[in-house]
Amino acid sequence: MVLVYMLEKIKNINWQWTMAILAIVTVWSWFGNLWPWLNYLGFVSIIGLAIYLAYRDLGQAILLLVLELIIGSKGYLFYLPIADFNISIRMGLWAVVMIAWLISILVHWSQHRQELLQLYQLKYSKFLLGLGFFAISALIVAVWNKNLPSNIFHDANNWLFALVALPIWMNFKSQENLRAMATTVKRAVIWLLIMTLVLAFVFSHNFGDMSLLLYAWLRDSGLAEITPSPNGFWRIFMQSQWYLVPAILWLVISCQKFDYKKASVKLLIQLSLLVTAMIFSLSRSLWLGLGVGILLLLISNLTKWRQLLTWVQLGLLSVVLAVAMVWTVVNLPILSLGSINYLDTLANRVNVSSEAAVSSRWNLLPPLMKEIKQSPILGQGFGATVIYQSSDPRIVSQTGGQYEAYALEWGWLDLWLKLGLGGLLVMLGFLVVLIKDLWSLKTDPGRWLAVTLIALMVVHAFTPYINHPLGLLAIILAVLYYDRSYGQTELA
């Protein structure tokens, strides 16, 4: 009941209560990895909650889906096994939202008919119809090429998530709706920050068996990748950490002056904590996307030297504080809770160096380009795979390094391979026009969303996000903001 109350009255519940609820759900997921019946109970409970919310107010069920998306990375905090297939909590929530929306359309057809017809009048309708056409074509080509059905499903499933844009568009119309969405996203990012710092602390210290159990849960749920580095530093990478990038960009944009008073110090601490989490992620692609975003903001304000000095001062201070926070998290002394052998065992199980990951990515490029050249116009459809030489020690030990994958690191080339040249160009054209429109609003939220999408495009070049629900949600929310508010609604 507490969770129901929080979601129904999210504007009136403080963020501390939200964090407490998310902590309970996360611990529940962890224990569910140890005792499957708890996992099943968690899955059924959350789906039941989603059905209840969809009956009361579909917008609240959508907020629950958005919350899970941002905190859940791959979406398997809870899952329901059916034969050899696991239905993730994300799939379940998406199904509840879409079914509830379709029922609403059928029951209230006369009321929604005109609203549905307005979809054709949206500025980006041609781009969206084009992307839909190429997605369907990619599915047909995949079946024609006899791509592995499981690969086709998991590949196409990411794009199927984009249909949630329809219920979002029809249920988030007012400024109050947009603020509720923004609040949900903001609190999910706060939880990401907390999770990153907690995991960094746990894996930087000797917590005995708990470290092994925690790693097993993170691996099985797909929530995070944990990788040891020299000198006690551990990489804590979560796919959802992409949302730290727009959070940092917003704090930078919102800082108009820095005077060491309460508001400025609070903003500095917030920014430093986010940068600390970014450091622990050790994600070069996220760093690059963030760097390009900040560089664009600096270039756009070259004639405003006071603003530039403020941002430079804020940036330097936040980086210094973030480095100090990283050192504190790693070196904070605690009582030893187990033998160091536990950490040695854990390190042996997850010892994959960043150099191996980079090497694998570059090894993928030549065979990927070769596959693209086989069908550059139509593409090879969803589930198309590429065989390349991986440097991952685990794969090397099993196959000598040869690895076949359908989920590919080079995001834009992945789009080309699956959707063909037409699909790639339509997506690029859509994002360029959307970014231009957002920037033309000449408001802080408009500039923020425009720069965020540019950062997303940069990150996608090396780590696929635009063909994943995490990136698609950012695009959907940007379109929603432009269409609904035209720069008049504050999104932070």
> Which has more confidence, 402 or 428?
428
> Which has more confidence, 354 or 435?
435
Q: Within this chain, do residues 320 and 234 fall inside the same structural domain, yes or no?
A: yes
Which pLDDT does position 483 carry in this prediction? Answer: 84
Tens-digit pLDDT profile for residues 51-106: 999 999 999 999 999 999 999 999 999 999 987 788 999 999 999 999 999 999 99
What mean pLDDT comes out for the span 315-328? 92
What mean pLDDT comes out for the span 376-403? 82
Classify residue 402 by its DSSP letter.
E
Beta carbons of 491 and 249 less than 8 angstroms apart:
no
Percent of the chain with pLDDT over 90: 58
User: Is residue 111 classed exposed, middle or buried when 0-12, 13-18 and 19+ CB atoms within 10 A define those classes?
Assistant: exposed
> Which has more confidence, 98 or 409?
98
Q: Is the pLDDT of residue 225 over 50?
A: yes
Which pLDDT does position 486 carry in this prediction? Answer: 62
Which pLDDT does position 489 carry in this prediction? Answer: 39
160 inside domain: no
N-terminal to C-terminal alpha carbon distance within the chain: 28
Structural domain harbouring 274? 190-350
Q: How many CA atoms lie within 13 A of 264 on its CB side?
A: 12
142 inside domain: no
Tens-digit pLDDT profile for residues 338-352: 444 444 544 544 444
Which pLDDT does position 353 carry in this prediction? Answer: 47
> Which has more confidence, 458 or 396?
458
What mean pLDDT comes out for the span 141-165? 92
Which pLDDT does position 331 carry in this prediction? Answer: 81
168 inside domain: no
Which pLDDT does position 361 carry in this prediction? Answer: 80
- Tally Cβ neighbours within 10 Å of residue 119: 14
25 inside domain: yes
> In which band, very low, low, confident or very high, does the pLDDT at 355 lie, cut at 50, 70 and 90?
low
Residues in the chain: 492
Residue that is last in its domain, among 90, 112, 134: 112
CA dihedral 215, 220, 222, 224 (to 10 degrees): 0
| Residue 235: strand pairing partners | 227
Which pLDDT does position 4 carry in this prediction? Answer: 52
Beta carbons of 316 and 275 less than 8 angstroms apart:
no
Q: Which of 199-208, 257-266, 466-475 has maximum average pLDDT?
A: 466-475
Beta carbons of 93 and 65 less than 8 angstroms apart:
yes
Tens-digit pLDDT profile for residues 174-192: 888 888 999 999 999 999 9
Q: Within this chain, do residues 213 and 108 fall inside the same structural domain, yes or no?
A: no
Helices (H), 15-88: 15-34, 36-56, 58-72
| Residue 237: strand pairing partners | 225
Q: Which of 22-26, 258-262, 312-316 has maximum average pLDDT?
A: 22-26
Task: Classify 179 as helix, strand or coil.
Answer: helix
Distance (Å, whole) CA 67 – CA 229: 31
Overall domain count for the chain: 2
Which pLDDT does position 346 carry in this prediction? Answer: 47
Q: Within this chain, do residues 202 and 58 fall inside the same structural domain, yes or no?
A: no
What mean pLDDT comes out for the span 144-171? 91
Distance (Å, whole) CA 448 – CA 249: 7
360 inside domain: no
Residue bearing tokens 């802080």: 444
Distance (Å, whole) CA 43 – CA 419: 34
Classify residue 237 by its DSSP letter.
E
Residue bearing tokens 């009361």: 56
Beta carbons of 484 and 491 less than 8 angstroms apart:
no
Burial track 277-289 (b if 16+ CB lie within 10 A, e otherwise): bbbbbbbebbebb
278 inside domain: yes
Residue that is last in its domain, among 350, 373, 403: 350
Distance (Å, whole) CA 184 – CA 62: 10
Beta carbons of 364 and 382 less than 8 angstroms apart:
no
What mean pLDDT comes out for the span 364-389? 92
Q: Within this chain, do residues 316 and 199 fall inside the same structural domain, yes or no?
A: yes
23 inside domain: yes
Q: Is the pLDDT of residue 357 over 70?
A: no
453 inside domain: no
Residue that is last in its domain, among 294, 320, 350: 350
Mean pLDDT of the chain: 86
What mean pLDDT comes out for the span 227-241? 82
Q: Is the pLDDT of residue 490 over 50?
A: no
Q: Within this chain, do residues 5 and 104 fall inside the same structural domain, yes or no?
A: yes
Q: Is the pLDDT of residue 40 over 80?
A: yes
What mean pLDDT comes out for the span 163-173? 92
Distance (Å, whole) CA 388 – CA 402: 6
Q: Which two three-digit tokens encode residue 12? A: 């009136």
> In which band, very low, low, confident or very high, does the pLDDT at 356 lie, cut at 50, 70 and 90?
low
Beta carbons of 438 and 450 less than 8 angstroms apart:
yes
